[in-house]
Amino acid sequence: MIRVGLIGARGYVGRELIGELDCDPAFELAYASSRALAGRRLRDTDGLSSLSRFGDLEVRDLSPAEAAREDVDVVVLGLPNGLAAPYVEALGKAPLIVDLSADYRHREGWVYGSPELNGKAVRGASRIANPGCYATAANLAIAGLLPAAGGPISVFGISGYSGAGTTPSPKNDPEVLRDNILPYGFGGHGHEREIAAATGRDIIFAPHVASFFRGLIVTVTAPLTEPMSNQQLLSLAEERFRPYPNVRVQAELPQLKDAAGTDLCIIGGLAVSPDGRSVTVSSVLDNLRKGAATQALKNIRLALGRS
């Protein structure tokens, strides 16, 4: 059994991860840490009332030094951006660390944890930086077009408000989002750099948030290095992801509701421009699952040789 410690149990992704661990007998949740929830049982936390195995586990508030003394196989850091470093320093070389924030993506000594793009490097890794949710959807859509796609590549995204986390802001304010779509982060969003680093292409990223809770869609438009047909590019994407059942490639336009609540990334609607020199394709996934929690669990299994 894989013993997991979770730092950051309050957030939406942390809760999603706890629910997944509760259902999988291969894992044991050794502890869940949260300053805001300390002293409460997990089953008394929003969204976790139905836990069967870990419902009576009491949430703790562990300092980095205290976390380092716990006997676990893996520590998942579910903290907001900028807060992971003290825990990483205290934990030292062991155990396995999976960071869900942006702090260590594409940093020396860390493996970028995309099973479909980087699975070989994830196997046996001790430090894994989980990809961002938008980046996961965009990376996979673009990877399905390579090497036919050039650059720069435009990525237009809309996410549910759970992607903005639990800290109050306009991006998760029901009144701001009511009958509305809120653009944000233009001209240098962190996922823009992340997607560029993962795909090797120049990226222009335009994120938005809407009033639904979970799921996201990105629409990618890329120049082609030479004219190609819809069928040629569809076959290229199908062949790229044939070994990965969690990535579905289809001719039809994907709908967000088909991916919400699942571990799928669905890529579809591929359309080449009339001159054959550019292509547009959409990609959908659940930002809390394939874009975060269940991708982290896949990385853990790969790193520990369980998958």
Is the pLDDT at 218 greater than 90, yes or no? yes
AA identity, residue 261: G
AA identity, residue 100: L
pLDDT at residue number 115: 97
Nearest to 59 by CA among 131, 129, 5: 5
For residue range 164-187, list pLDDT tens digits in order. 888 888 999 999 999 999 999 898
- 33, β-bridge pairs: 7, 60
d(C-alpha 259, C-alpha 286), whole Å: 6
DSSP sequence for 212-253: SSS-EEEEEEEEBSS---HHHHHHHHHHHTTT-TTEEEESSP
* Confidence tier at 42 by pLDDT (50, 70, 90): very high
The C-alpha angle 285, 291, 295, rounded to 5 degrees, equals 120
- Specify the CATH class of 2-103 in words: alpha beta
Q: Is the pTM of this model over 0.75?
A: yes
For residue range 129-163, list pLDDT tens digits in order. 999 999 999 999 999 999 999 999 999 999 999 99
For residue range 260-276, list pLDDT tens digits in order. 999 999 999 999 999 99
The C-alpha angle 14, 85, 169, rounded to 5 degrees, equals 50
State the average pLDDT for the chain.
96
Rounded CA Rg of the chain: 19
- Hey, which residues are catalytic here? 133
Percent composition of the chain: helix, strand, coil (DSSP 3-state, to 5): 30, 25, 45
Domain boundaries, the chain: 2-103, 133-286
Handedness of CA 79, 119, 90, 27 (dihedral sign): positive
Is the pLDDT at 94 greater than 90, yes or no? no
Fold of 133-286: Dihydrodipicolinate Reductase; domain 2 (3.30.360)
